[in-house]
Amino acid sequence: MIATKAPAGLPADLAAIAEDQDALIGEEMAGIVPMPDRPYSAKVYTALTKAIAEAAKVMGLDLTPEAYSEPVAQMDSDVARFLAMMAAAASDYGKPFPVELEDIKGDSELTAITAALTQLAGDKGFAEFLDAPAEGEEVTEEVEDLPDGEVMEEEEEEYDFSKRMRRR
């Protein structure tokens, strides 16, 4: 498991809601990653959690990886959640993971993903990508039921992962 730290000044009730939502998302993401053919090696799984924490620093997140001493029977929901988030960011950046999450079968796939995360963590271009202002497409809609024939326009932006993960 990877421990996260709640942002300073976040009220306790909001922190609890956020934690519950993170748990639900984690469980859903863990369902995407199939059970491994055999338990993950403690060494490989520990290296993965450390690589996740290093890549998370670039995203402005402060994670504390856990060291594992026993084989891991199935991927933890927190690890799966962060992997899914980082897979989306890497794909948006143009350097997708070498293995899709649903194709993880064991240690060799985790090792390939760990290497990709390590490269992203040290990639200045990735950090700049995450810090760059979002350039979303603008869509204009006309709303007809306004008094005096006025027209209101609404602008919508396309979802951009880098905008959400900008450093604080």
pLDDT digits (tens, 9 = 90+) for 81-121: 889 889 999 999 999 999 999 999 999 999 999 999 999 99
Proportion of the chain above pLDDT 70, given as a percent: 61
For position 96, what pLDDT does the model report? 95
Give the span between the Cα atoms of 54 and 33, in whole angstroms: 21
Q: Which residues contact 135 (CB under 8 A, 6 or more apart)?
A: 160
Give the span between the Cα atoms of 112 and 122, in whole angstroms: 16
Instruction: Give domain status of residue 148, yes or no.
Output: no
Q: Which residues of 53-63 are buried (b: 16+ CB within 10 A; e: fewer)?
A: bbbbebbebeb
For position 99, what pLDDT does the model report? 94
9 pLDDT exceeds 90?
no
137 pLDDT exceeds 50?
no
Q: What's the domain count of the chain?
A: 1
Instruction: Give domain status of residue 33, yes or no.
Output: yes
**Domain membership of residue 89 as a residue range:** 2-131
Instruction: Give domain status of residue 18, yes or no.
Output: yes
Instruction: Give domain status of residue 14, yes or no.
Output: yes
Give this prediction's pTM: 0.66
| Residue 27 vs residues 35, 82, 92, 103: alpha-carbon distances, Å | 13, 12, 23, 17
Instruction: Give domain status of residue 168, yes or no.
Output: no
Instruction: Give domain status of residue 140, yes or no.
Output: no
Instruction: Give domain status of residue 142, yes or no.
Output: no
Instruction: Give domain status of residue 154, yes or no.
Output: no
